[in-house]
């Protein structure tokens, strides 16, 4: 097989027409015949680039609303025919098939159509490309002779090599391009498969198709000896940290991204529980150390920071509102230090104030903090495989809870119970949270027994409970024994929210009745291992 293959004919058919005119003109200037289809051909011809319509090659017009145009032996024979096999060359001569040395194809925007959430089912189906993937696969299989481009980001590299080699491409480059093309078609097919599975309500299909696109390499993983990168899952339609924008600051680390994602999800859940109020979350080492709702952004932030100021130092903040100059002044006041702030928007003056206060602060925008989470999947790796589940998207709805013991909950207790319940959902189990005055007072998480979690939570919250005079506690799972509730009640807790369902629930309910403590059961467990 030859190393260098001169490009004499190229087929260009692109949905994303970024830079395609300049690319095609460069090919044409090097004597390459440019073949094209439909809208691409029209764009090239309008720009003055000599173009051969694909129907002149196939002898058939485009038909069926463009569904059929390149599925023809004169196209695929030109892509698949080996130039070093006599029978292939003979077949091409017999059937008047001319070789195609380069294809440039980016596919119908199926993933973008799904992510928009605005297309009908039929509109989405029409964005399933057939001819494009077929040509990419044909060309990539025959990369010994054919160069395959799938992205405008590849144009300059190919043109530079052709200019340096009298209009040829190298085997090394063609192999790289082929690998990228097969990765693209694999991801494209996976997005289609996943969408069809969702439309048939098959959340966990027999064959799980997972493809991800590398967004950026990271300096290292959780620890310096671990390599790491950030990948995005296309076609999910899910807003979040993977597709957020960073306004300023040095690149996010692996741990920054993980904590920012946790803050984003917790803030989203809290905001959805209080539509008319502002939510603020502080996360440190993947657990919320502060959570609050407020009537104003400043009130929400101050409440979240007050949850555990010691832990909050060097933490990550997420807020469900834009950050304006007034809020930035509140955030930067005192001896505080933050690594990352996640918000829906940053006003210019706020950006200036925050950067002036902390030179390396990362400012991350994601406009959909308050939106519902998508029905994507939760994936965790294990040796030899994956554990897959649907995500925990349950939102705290006190109206759906059961008043199980003690006096009826007050309106304030319901607010605090909601804050505590959202926070405990995002803590590592076993977990107990204590809340009051619309904010988190303390958290005990990641414990191997629930009693220890209760003890840590009340120790963190002791001063706030004493100052407030009452507080509400939440448990991510039921209490197996009444010792946990007793620890909470002895510390001043006046309301407890928990899933219920223990064989010894009656002992807990009896204790609450005897001590005059409200107990509500949710019927929902929030383990997070």
**Does residue 522 have a pLDDT over 70?**
yes
**Does residue 111 have a pLDDT over 80?**
no
The pLDDT, as a whole number, for residue 234 is: 65
**Does residue 12 have a pLDDT over 70?**
yes
**Does residue 76 have a pLDDT over 90?**
no
What digits encode the pLDDT tens for the residues 35-75?
Answer: 988 888 899 999 999 998 887 777 777 767 667 767 788 88
96-100 contacts, C-beta under 8 A, 24 or more apart: 97/73, 98/9, 98/57, 98/74, 99/8, 99/9, 99/145, 100/9, 100/10, 100/11, 100/35, 100/75, 100/139, 100/146
Closest alpha carbon to 474 in 442, 447, 446, 497? 497
Calculate mean pLDDT across residues 283-298: 94
The answer to whether residue 335 is catalytic is no
- Domain limits, CATH 3.40.140.20, in the chain: 240-365, 397-521
Cα distance from N-terminal residue to C-terminal residue, the chain: 54
Q: Report the top-level CATH class of 397-521.
A: alpha beta
- Which residue among 88, 141, 394, 468 is the active-site one? 141
What digits encode the pLDDT tens for the residues 400-458?
Answer: 999 999 999 999 999 999 999 999 999 999 999 999 999 999 999 999 999 999 999 99
CA–CA dist 282, 423 (Å, integer): 10
User: 121 pLDDT band (50/70/90 cuts)?
Assistant: confident
Q: Out of 235-239, 275-279, 457-461, pick the least confident.
A: 235-239
**Does residue 22 have a pLDDT over 90?**
yes
The pLDDT, as a whole number, for residue 368 is: 67
Q: Report the top-level CATH class of 4-199.
A: alpha beta
User: 109 pLDDT band (50/70/90 cuts)?
Assistant: confident
β-sheet bridge partners, residue 346:
323
- Domain limits, CATH 3.40.50.1380, in the chain: 4-199
User: 191 pLDDT band (50/70/90 cuts)?
Assistant: confident
Contact of 339 with 362, CB cutoff 8 Å = yes
- Which residue among 8, 17, 88, 285 is the active-site one? 285
Calculate mean pLDDT across residues 153-173: 93
Calculate mean pLDDT across residues 387-396: 88
Closest alpha carbon to 306 in 427, 191, 178, 463? 463
**Does residue 375 have a pLDDT over 70?**
no
CA–CA dist 400, 522 (Å, integer): 7
Overall size of the chain counted in residues: 529
Average pLDDT, the chain: 89
User: 371 pLDDT band (50/70/90 cuts)?
Assistant: low
The pLDDT, as a whole number, for residue 214 is: 86
**Does residue 343 have a pLDDT over 80?**
yes
H or E element that contains 474: strand 471-475
The pLDDT, as a whole number, for residue 318 is: 95
Q: Which fold has domain 240-365?
A: Cytidine Deaminase; domain 2 (3.40.140)
The answer to whether residue 285 is catalytic is yes
List strands edge to edge, sheet with 315-319: 245-248, 362-365, 338-343, 315-319, 278-284, 287-294, 439-444, 432-436, 471-475, 493-498, 518-521, 402-405
**Does residue 345 have a pLDDT over 80?**
yes
For residue 419, what are the contacts with CB-CB under 8 A and spacing of at least 6?
A: 270, 291, 292, 293, 435, 438, 439, 440
């Amino acid at each position: 097989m030859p190393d260098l293959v001169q490009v004499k004919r190229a087929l260009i058919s692109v949905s994303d027409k970024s830079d395609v005119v300049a690319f095609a003109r460069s090919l044409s200037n090097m004597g390459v015949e440019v073949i094209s289809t439909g809208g691409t051909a029209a764009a090239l011809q309008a720009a003055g680039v000599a173009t051969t319509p694909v129907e002149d090659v196939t002898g058939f017009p485009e038909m069926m609303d463009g569904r059929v145009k390149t599925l023809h032996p004169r196209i695929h024979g030109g892509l698949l025919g080996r130039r070093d096999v006599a029978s292939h060359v003979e077949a091409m001569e017999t059937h008047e098939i001319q070789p195609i040395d380069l294809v440039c194809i980016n596919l119908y925007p199926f993933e973008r159509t799904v992510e928009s959430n605005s297309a009908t089912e039929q509109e989405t189906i029409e964005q399933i490309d057939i001819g494009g993937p077929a040509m990419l696969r044909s060309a990539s299989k025959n990369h010994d002779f054919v160069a395959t481009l799938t992205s405008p980001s590849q144009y300059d590299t190919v043109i530079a090599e052709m200019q340096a080699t009298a209009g040829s491409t190298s085997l090394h480059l063609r192999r790289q391009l082929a690998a990228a093309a097969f990765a693209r078609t694999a991801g494209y097919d996976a997005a289609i498969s996943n969408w069809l599975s969702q439309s048939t309500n098959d959340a966990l299909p027999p064959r799980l198709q997972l493809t991800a696109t590398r967004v950026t390499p990271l300096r290292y993983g959780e620890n310096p000896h671990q390599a790491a990168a950030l990948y995005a899952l296309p076609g999910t339609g899910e807003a979040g940290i993977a597709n957020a924008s960073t306004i300023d600051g040095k690149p996010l680390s692996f741990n920054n991204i993980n904590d920012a994602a946790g803050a984003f999800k917790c803030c989203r859940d809290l905001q959805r529980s209080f539509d008319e109020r502002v939510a603020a979350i502080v996360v440190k080492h993947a657990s919320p150390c502060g959570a609050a709702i407020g009537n104003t952004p400043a009130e929400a932030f101050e409440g979240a920071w007050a949850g555990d100021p010691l832990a909050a130092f060097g933490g990550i903040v997420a807020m469900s509102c834009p950050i304006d100059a007034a809020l930035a002044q509140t955030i930067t006041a005192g001896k505080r230090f933050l690594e990352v702030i996640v918000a829906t928007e940053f006003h210019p003056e706020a950006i200036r104030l925050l950067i002036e206060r902390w030179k390396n602060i990362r400012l991350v925008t994601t406009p959909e903090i308050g939106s519902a989470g998508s029905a994507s999947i939760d994936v965790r790796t294990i040796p030899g495989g994956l554990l897959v589940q649907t995500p925990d998207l349950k939102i705290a709805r006190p109206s759906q809870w059961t008043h199980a013991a003690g006096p009826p909950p007050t309106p304030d207790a319901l607010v605090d119970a909601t804050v505590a319940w959202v926070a405990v959902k995002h803590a590592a189990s076993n977990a107990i949270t204590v809340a009051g005055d619309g904010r988190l007072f303390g958290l005990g998480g990641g414990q191997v027994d629930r009693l220890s979690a209760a003890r840590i939570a009340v120790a963190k919250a002791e001063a706030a409970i004493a100052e407030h005079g009452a507080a509400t506690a939440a448990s991510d799972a039921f209490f197996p024994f009444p010792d946990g509730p007793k620890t909470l009640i002895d510390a001043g807790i006046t309301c407890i929210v928990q899933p219920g369902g223990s064989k010894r629930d009656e002992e807990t309910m009896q204790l609450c009745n005897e001590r005059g403590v409200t107990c509500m059961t949710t019927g929902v467990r929030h383990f997070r291992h």
